[in-house]
A and B are shown apart, each in its own frame.
Chain A
């Protein structure tokens, strides 16, 4: 491409207004990693399936790999770097991930944290099934998801000043011979 196109993109990233000249072909993930060194944004599948690149844009969780950088102009973006407290200590959500062993290799973790944060900001109490659906856009190949769900659930209750209830064990569906005709 001989005549490269660039666009000036101004957006608020983790509470700070930032401006950069960006190639129009860049994805938001490219911009956040390349221009701002926000490497919590992981590039996984690059086709919007795995959720590792998820960032919060105006309160909603998006896959930044299939979001053009130029669309971010004027938007408020939050990455995991923005969840950490100003003194560098972990947020309650991040700490819960550590405590519940919701992290193994860690590649999916930033995406899950951002998604969980956007869910928790709605200020509602969800059932386990609802949480599963809300978290379903992220792939994790290590943990088997249970610990992630447990961590999000814990913070959902504690942030609302509620005791964390006992877990509801999902009953396995057993098909009896007489069910099959």
Chain B
């Protein structure tokens, strides 16, 4: 039994908005894998709750006519990884959210909840940020769109205003078209773990595949909120693909990030990770784009994706193929 004072249940977005206006202090409950834990631990004990989990209209992924990918805020991580639109166009996001917690957490955890709770370690956040995701909020005055980067106000604080709930995340076509990316999560364990550092890099290459035409690097846990390495991106956006560039990017990200000491990891380990993971994720993103980094020995390019297994729909084999 959870220590909840009053529970209000919304079945539609309109109901949620009116409940938000009527009970502004109530906590919004999406999948509950953060909120229910906080109620249990006592941090939120005795709170009022607005459950929006029942709003089925906020589930699912579709592509709009202009190519924008719209992910309903209540879509669970497992459904994102299983979605053919994501698999085809935004593979990195499917991979990133497949690293959250364990299978059951991915079944209940929602991408909206992951971004709205404002934690820096959210596995979805760095990849969404690197793809310039736009947050759609619905309130009494209608819909409001704002870039995900501006949605984060501080640790645990996001720009969800009075009467509003987050209704979807939108990825514009120009951010994913022609781009390939890679996400690395570093944690002490490979399941049921919170990222020590998460790094998502995506690139676009020129026709000869010898130089970058676009570079985006985003981090989780490298600062109080998920962040982009803007200075590095500016400096290396159109750099030639050489070993020196990779090293220089690794060096440069240290001027962008400002991780801190915590019980999970010390600052200097996090800085080391920021640098190493930017380099590794860049190499992998370039490899996926079909590019070659000149001067990099073959042995330095991972033969296959580190230890990553992602449960895309094609994971596993058809028994008929095995029988043959």
Contact = CB atoms under 8 A, between A and B. Distances in A.
Interface of A: 1, 5, 7, 23-27, 30, 46-49, 51, 54, 60-63, 66-68, 70-71, 115, 122-127, 129-130, 133-138, 160-162
B101 A123 contact: no
A161 B320 CA distance: 10
Specify the main secondary structure of chain A where it touches its partner.
Answer: loop
A61 B107 contact: yes
Nearest to A57: B107
A134 B103 contact: yes
A48 B37 contact: yes
A30 B105 contact: no
A48 B33 contact: yes
B104 A54 contact: yes
A162 B324 CA distance: 10
B105 A1 contact: no
Specify the main secondary structure of chain B where it touches its partner.
Answer: mixed
Interface in B8-38: 9, 29, 32-33, 36-37
Contacts of A115: 103-104
B1 A26 contact: yes
Interface string B179-201: 00000000000111000000000
Given A126-B316, A136-B103, A162 B322 contact: yes
A47 B38 CA distance: 9
Interface string B82-97: 0000000000000000
Contacts of B322: 125, 160, 162
A135 B78 CA distance: 14
B190 A71 contact: no
Nearest to A131: B316
B104 A71 contact: no
A19 B311 CA distance: 35
Interface string B306-322: 00010100011111001
B120 to A, nearest CB: 21
